[in-house]
Structures are given as C-alpha cells and as structure tokens.
Amino acid sequence: MTNQTQRTTSSIWYARAEEESRDLLASLPEDLRECLAPLAVTLDPRPTPDEETQAGDETELLGLFVGLPFGEPPDAADPLPCAIRLFVENLREEAEDDPMRFRQEVRTTLLHEIGHYLGLDEEGLAGRGLA
C-alpha cells in the first residue's frame, strides 16, 4: 500500500469517527448537550506511550477523558480544558476494519468517556451498560 493510499484510507476512518461523534452528540437531550458544550472531542491516531496502558487494563486504550469532571471547580494548577480523546487506529483495530462495528465502537467509547466527564466511575458506567 502506498503512502497516499494509506493516508486516504486513514482519512476515511477519521471521517467516520467524526461523523459518528457528531451524530451521537446531536442525538443527546438538549440539557445534556449544554453540559457537554465546553468539552472538546479530539481524534488522535493512538495514545501516547505513557497513556497506552493503565493499571489493570489488558486491552488497547480506545478513548480517554482528560480534565476535571463536570461541576468541579477549575484547577488553577491545570487550566487545560476538558477533552475526550478518541484513538482512531485503536478503535479501527478493535472493530477489525468493519465500518459498522467501528461506528459502534466510536459510539460506545464516546458515551463511556462522557460518563467519566459527568463524574461516573467504572462501576457507575458498568451499571449503565457503558463499561
């Protein structure tokens, strides 16, 4: 596969992730969309090496919430905005290059990370079917 073909193929997966993220966020109730307004959603190829493995995690990291949960007072020591990072290449590998499964993985991962933003821990997410 040439570099141009790889870039084109990769950009298709990014477009799918962007579209699914946009559609999911648009489908949420208005009050929830208002809570999520300050939250950035970024698409990255993969996590950085220090993010790659988290304690007790045996799977590739598909997404990551960074920042303070909704309603927490701002931290002067860490003024960066809250964000959800979706790792497109890991999501693609998890979906085994199946476009429908990829969209579902993006959706599930984004909902999971939104749950973290809203202050849910792993147990709370599992109770809502998002773990």
Domain edges within the chain: 3-47+61-67+78-127
CA distances from 80 to 16, 70, 128 (A): 27, 14, 29
Please count the residues of the chain.
131
Pairing of strands 63-66, 40-44: unpaired
Predicted pLDDT at 80: 73
| Model pLDDT for residues 57-100, shown as the tens digit of each residue | 557 899 999 988 887 777 667 667 889 999 999 999 999 999 99
| Model pLDDT for residues 20-56, shown as the tens digit of each residue | 999 999 999 999 899 999 899 999 999 988 776 554 5
Angle at 70 between CA 28 and CA 51, to 5 degrees: 95
Nearest-CA neighbor of 86 among 120, 124, 116, 128?
116
Token pair 């799977």 is found at: 59
Residue 104 has pLDDT above 60, yes or no: yes
The fold of the 3-47+61-67+78-127 domain, in CATH, is: Zincin-like (3.30.2010)
Angle at 91 between CA 104 and CA 53, to 5 degrees: 130
The runs of H, that is alpha helices, within 1-131 are 3-27, 30-36, 49-52, 88-94, 99-117, 122-127
Taking the C-alpha atoms of residue 35 and residue 38, their distance in angstroms, rounded to an integer, is 7
Binned at pLDDT 50, 70 and 90, residue 6 comes out as low
Predicted pLDDT at 5: 46
